[in-house]
Amino acid sequence: HRRVPLAIMSEAATDRAEAILAELAEMDLELARKAHGAAMAAEDPAEVAGHIRNYQRMARSVRQTLAIKARLAEGRVRRLAERPRLPEPSPFGIKRRIRELNPAVCRVIDAFTEREDERESYRDDLIEAFCDLDATIDYTAVPLDAHVADICHVLGLPAGLAARWRDLPAGEGEDSS
């Protein structure tokens, strides 16, 4: 239910992301099959339960990876056409924007998720999204609220929470001022 930020990715990065996601989906599917087989073969109830948990995690990973891949494909052309290209990007724009985006999006993640493992999964995807920021865009010219909304949409987080991220509780280690 998440995807890589298309509005802020170069076409080459999008192609690479699609290739990586395809490979990850295959690996995740292989693991899910192994976990399913182990659960079916197990006799001890505790062992069955452990294998079922592993299978459920792997199946969720497959679903998430396929959803990301589908979203990459569906929005590529439109987003590439709509994204602003600024003539002189700030060399510090990406680092600065990540410092602004990280606590903002983490507030939304924390408000949306209940379990720590879910939070960690979203945070991992957020870090991947940061790695895909396009160096030719000056993010200091993009309104922070719009960028938070875009990243949250990409991650599959609710638009309503993203819109009111400033009103959500500050995370651990975040300055709440």
pLDDT tens, N- to C-terminus, the chain (177 residues): 444 444 444 555 666 777 787 788 888 888 888 888 988 898 898 888 888 888 888 888 878 877 777 777 776 656 656 766 554 555 556 778 888 888 999 999 999 998 888 888 888 888 888 777 766 666 777 788 988 888 888 888 889 999 999 999 887 656 554
Give the pair of three-digit tokens for residue 100: 């602004």
Label residue 140 exposed, middle or buried (CB < 10 Å: 0-12, 13-18, 19+).
Answer: middle
> Do residues 53 and 16 touch, judged by C-beta distance below 8 A?
no
